[in-house]
Amino acid sequence: DAGITQSPRHKVTETGTPVTLRCHQTENHRYMYWYRQDPGHGLRLIHYSYGVKDTDKGEVSDGYSVSRSKTEDFLLTLESATSSQTSVYFCASCPDTDTQYFGPGTRLTVL
Amino acid sequence: SQQGEEDPQALSIQEGENATMNCSYKTSINNLQWYRQNSGRGLVHLILIRSNEREKHSGRLRVTLDTSKKSSSLLITASRAADTASYFCATANTGGFKTIFGAGTRLFVKA
């Protein structure tokens, strides 16, 4: 987990509220990713970034947006949280398209 | 849908035994990676094998790749209780930035 942090680590929110999760890396990695992990589904890619201001959708992007204004920060926003977005969210960074380095995760509960 | 699918979903063995996990995927890949996740933690990269490689070793880990069958296996020799974790395969598609993870194999090593 060295070099990549996520905040907050835990969050409980109510349906309909906006939520922003932050991923910060100090490795100057070009690529960054947001995943969600749910029982029986492994990790599913939400959005990824291949450079500052360059982002693209993953396989489960509906209801999520991202922004990357600096190399070190990748923000994930739930514009209006729903109970189906209750999950554990992982961020990862990667210097190329090979090894990914993961953050410790954020446990989000939407009531 | 998931690119990689691990088999078995769960595996329980005695300390000292070997553990074998398999991964199948659907499309052409650039490389295949194996990750480990301890309970409540982020994923940790174990080993990467490229599409032009057939076998790779790292310590007690041995990975094979059969591109004709679109499958890979991870062998952990002389398992230890500390190897108890979930193991995921992940594939990076040719020419793409995305890495797709399978649902994982839960390994339990009994002391």
Report whether A61 contacts A77 (CB < 8 A). Answer: no
Average pLDDT over all residues of chain B: 91
Residues of A with CB under 8 A from a CB of B: 1, 31, 33, 35, 40-45, 48, 50, 56, 58-59, 90, 92, 94, 97-105
Between B66 and B100, the more confident residue is: B66
Query: What value does the mean pLDDT take over residues B78-93?
Result: 93
Q: What is the pLDDT of residues A68-95, one digit of tens each?
A: 999 999 999 999 999 999 999 999 999 8
Residue B52's pLDDT is 94
Q: What is the pLDDT of residues A23-69, one digit of tens each?
A: 999 999 999 999 999 987 789 999 999 999 999 999 899 999 999 99
Q: What is the pLDDT of residues B1-50, one digit of tens each?
A: 445 678 899 999 999 999 999 999 988 888 999 999 999 899 999 999 99
Residue B28's pLDDT is 87
Say how far apart CA B67 and CA B46 lie, in whole Å. 20
Q: Which of A45, A56, A103 sits opposite B100 (nearest CB)?
A: A45
Which positions in chain B touch A50 (Cβ < 8 Å)?
97
